[in-house]
């Protein structure tokens, strides 16, 4: 029953309610119940990454893996004259066991940003432009990532165009810079 005018609403077949109930029950039994120590470890890791637990747990649940790196936009880091804003440097330098990569918008250059902010960043690349095609956008986003698992990288951006980096590179997710760098 999927012809013209069908809105794909709930099934009216006999037993549909029972099948839905059985499916939800079986699904709930498959989901693991995390031991308290595992939750504590994840709370510590979220703190290490500078994320609130809800955000960290959401990214981890959607990808099934821990975050291995952050991909920042130069807008998110408030880069001026190739230097990261001092208010943002401290948080970057405090990150441990995770990569810190930046995509630099013109007029800045990846090389200059890396050399002037060596202790705060691990890698840099050129940010996509508004005129890039989807494949070009994907290539620019993934070039500085190298062999890191893409679904372990969270984009920290400041504009709506930077949200597309996540989809183009098949990355773990997107987080607004104001939320990430909030005190």
pLDDT, tens digit, 9 for 90 and up, residues 26-70: 777 766 777 889 889 999 999 999 999 999 999 998 898 999 999
* Per-residue pLDDT tens digits for 131-155: 999 999 999 999 999 999 999 999 9
Q: What is the 3 state secondary structure string of 86-147? A: HHHHHHHHHCCCCEEEEEECCCCCHHHHHHHCCCCCCEEEECCCCCCCHHHHHHHHHHHHCC
Provide the pLDDT confidence category of residue 9 given band limits of 50, 70 and 90.
low
Contact status, residue 121 vs residue 101, Cβ threshold 8 Å: yes
Ramachandran bin of 136, using left for φ above 0, alpha for ψ from -120 to 50, beta for the remaining angles: alpha
CATH code at 36-180: 3.40.50.1000
Sign of the alpha-carbon torsion through 46, 49, 54, 60: negative
């Amino acid at each position: 029953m999927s012809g013209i005018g069908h809105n794909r609403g709930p099934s009216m077949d006999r037993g549909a309610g029972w099948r839905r109930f059985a499916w939800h029950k079986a699904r709930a039994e498959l989901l693991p119940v995390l031991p308290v120590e595992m939750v504590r470890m994840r709370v510590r890791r979220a703190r290490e990454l500078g994320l609130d637990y809800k955000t960290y747990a959401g990214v981890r649940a959607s990808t099934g893996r821990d975050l291995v790196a952050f991909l920042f936009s130069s807008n998110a880091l408030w880069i001026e004259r190739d230097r990261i804003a001092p208010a943002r440097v401290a948080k970057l330098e405090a990150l441990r066991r995770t990569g810190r990569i930046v995509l630099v918008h013109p007029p800045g250059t990846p090389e200059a940003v890396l050399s002037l902010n060596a202790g705060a960043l691990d890698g840099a690349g050129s940010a996509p432009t508004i005129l890039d095609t989807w494949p070009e956008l994907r290539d620019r986003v993934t070039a500085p990532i190298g062999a890191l698992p893409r679904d372990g990288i969270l984009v920290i951006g400041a504009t709506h165009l930077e949200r597309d980096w996540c989809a183009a590179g098949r990355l773990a997710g997107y987080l607004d810079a104001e939320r990430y760098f909030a005190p």
